[in-house]
């Protein structure tokens, strides 16, 4: 099956001035991955690892320094982000933002927020546009009576629904969700997650789901990408990665979950040692980026930077000494 979206050696560097010298901050440092039609891919990693930069590159609100973003086999990375607003492909990649309170215009009613997408992305006006807005409200289970309310008159769960309706009203093929439930209570989170799952089936979208709640990623995603300091360190089917994490960083993430994971193989011995990550400014390419925090960390890790390699079962890992993986039955 052709990929819906594919990143090839995608890079984004930001120049930073320090002591009169210009150096490069490697926010996204050579990432390869793909999303198939209808697939849900989870993206996890700690803050500062480049998740948001990657998302901005894929949604084309930021231009890559190098590499390609291929969408339906065309390199949309070549379209400048400023021109992307008017690009016909704009409506095919949409985004749901983290905090529904911050990402909705406080002076727009829910109807106006959703209608703006219809007008700008679908080029519809009048009765046709109004029908689309109400259709989208129906998809997300937002009562029509609430459409004329302002964000401050809506509850957290209702605002989340408005944010989702705004994103899916143009029927995108790819929906990027940046921590869509982080600001919600568990009771509401459940409803929103189940809503997303249903919408994905009904509208046949692909999801890129960015989260640091591993439990949510585990339940929602088909495949998961683990990022560390601008690189993908592990990728694979969610069940396999969660039950038998191969990369020390993935193991640390899972060992950090309160209560652990039933049947998971990671334990307290896998927790990271030491404090903060290395600096993303001009990192040494011949050194593993986890070195210093990694509970393993051997001599070779300081001499050769590990590359992402296949380990079978659709899994990839960038580590010289990955944990021995027992393949989980599918």
Partner 1 sequence: MNALSNPLLEVDRLAVEFRTRGGTVRALENVSLALAEGETVGLVGESGSGKSVLSFAAMGIQDAAARITAGAIRFAGQDLLAKKGAAMKALRGREMAMIFQNPRVALNPIRQVGRQIEDVLARHTDLLPAARRARAIECLAEVRIPDPERRYAAYPFELSGGMCQRVMIAIALACKPRLLIADEPTTGLDVTTQAAIMRLVRELSAERRMATLLITHDLGMAREYCDRIAVMHAGHIVEVGPTEALFAAPRHPYTERLIAATPVGAASLAELAAIDGNLPDLRRADLPACRFAERCPRRGAECERPLALAPAGASSATHLIACHRPLTAAATEARHAAFA
> Under the rule (CB under 8 A), what is the footprint of partner 1?
46-48, 155-156, 185-191, 193-194, 197, 212-216, 218-220, 252-253, 255-259, 262, 271-272, 274-276
Give the nearer residue to partner 1 in terms of CB position, either 84 or 195: 195
DSSP state of 46: -
Least distance in Å: CB of 48 to partner 1?
A: 8
Q: Is 125 exposed, middle or buried (0-12, 13-18, 19+ CB in 10 A)?
A: exposed
Positive or negative CA dihedral for 46, 48, 52, 53? negative
Give the nearer residue to partner 1 in terms of CB position, either 35 or 227: 227
Asked whether the beta carbons of 71 and 4 are under 8 A apart, the reply is yes
Least distance in Å: CB of 51 to partner 1?
A: 11
Give the nearer residue to partner 1 in terms of CB position, either 69 or 160: 160
Nearest to 246 by CA among 270, 262, 222: 270
Give the nearer residue to partner 1 in terms of CB position, either 146 or 188: 188
Give the nearer residue to partner 1 in terms of CB position, either 133 or 318: 318
Provide the β-strand partners of residue 31.
Answer: 10
Provide the β-strand partners of residue 208.
Answer: 41, 176
Specify the residue for token string 């440092």.
29
Give the nearer residue to partner 1 in terms of CB position, either 154 or 169: 154
Give the nearer residue to partner 1 in terms of CB position, either 187 or 286: 187
Distance CA 279, CA 259 (A): 31
DSSP state of 132: H
Least distance in Å: CB of 16 to partner 1?
A: 15
232-267 residues labelled b (16+ CB within 10 A) or e (exposed): bbbbbbbbbbbbbbbbbbbbbbbbeeeeebeebbbe
Give the length of the chain.
330
Give the nearer residue to partner 1 in terms of CB position, either 156 or 237: 156
List, in order, residues 6 or more apart from 58 with CB less than 8 Å away: 5, 7, 69, 93, 176, 208
Distance CA 79, CA 220 (A): 31
Least distance in Å: CB of 274 to partner 1?
A: 8
**Residue 309 host element (H or E):** strand 309-312
Least distance in Å: CB of 238 to partner 1?
A: 12
By three-state DSSP, how is residue 97 classified? coil
Least distance in Å: CB of 63 to partner 1?
A: 28
Least distance in Å: CB of 162 to partner 1?
A: 17
Least distance in Å: CB of 115 to partner 1?
A: 27
Nearest to 45 by CA among 217, 210, 227, 221: 227
């Amino acid at each position: 099956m052709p990929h819906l979206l594919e990143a090839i050696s995608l890079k984004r560097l930001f120049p930073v001035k320090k002591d009169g010298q210009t150096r490069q901050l490697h926010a996204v440092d050579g990432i390869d991955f793909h999303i198939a039609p209808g697939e849900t891919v989870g993206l996890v990693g700690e803050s500062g690892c480049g998740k948001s930069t990657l998302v901005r590159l894929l949604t084309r609100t930021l231009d890559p320094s190098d590499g390609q973003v291929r969408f339906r086999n065309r390199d949309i990375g070549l379209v400048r982000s400023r021109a992307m607003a008017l690009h016909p492909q704009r409506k095919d990649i949409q985004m749901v933002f983290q905090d529904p309170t911050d990402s909705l215009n406080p002076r727009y009613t829910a109807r106006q927020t959703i209608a703006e997408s219809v007008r700008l992305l679908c080029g519809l006006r009048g009765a046709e546009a109004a029908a689309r807005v109400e259709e989208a409200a129906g998809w997300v289970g937002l009562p029509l009576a609430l459409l004329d309310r302002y964000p401050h008159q809506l509850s957290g769960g209702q605002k989340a629904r408005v944010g989702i309706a705004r994103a899916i009203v143009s029927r995108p093929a790819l929906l990027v969700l940046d921590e869509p439930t982080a600001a919600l209570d568990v009771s509401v989170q459940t409803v929103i997650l189940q809503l997303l799952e249903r919408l994905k089936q009904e509208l046949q979208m692909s999801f890129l789901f960015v989260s640091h709640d591993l439990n949510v990623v585990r339940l929602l995603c088909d495949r998961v990408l683990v990022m560390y300091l601008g690189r993908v360190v592990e990728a694979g089917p969610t069940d396999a990665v969660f039950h038998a994490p191969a990369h020390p960083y993935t193991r640390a993430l899972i060992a950090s979950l309160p209560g652990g994971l039933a049947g998971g193989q990671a334990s307290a011995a896998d927790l990271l040692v030491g404090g903060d990550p290395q600096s993303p400014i001009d990192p040494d390419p011949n050194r593993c980026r986890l070195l210093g925090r990694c509970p393993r960390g051997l001599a070779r890790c300081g001499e050769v930077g590990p590359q992402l390699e296949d380990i079978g079962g659709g899994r990839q890992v960038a580590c010289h000494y990955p944990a021995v993986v027992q393949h989980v039955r599918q």
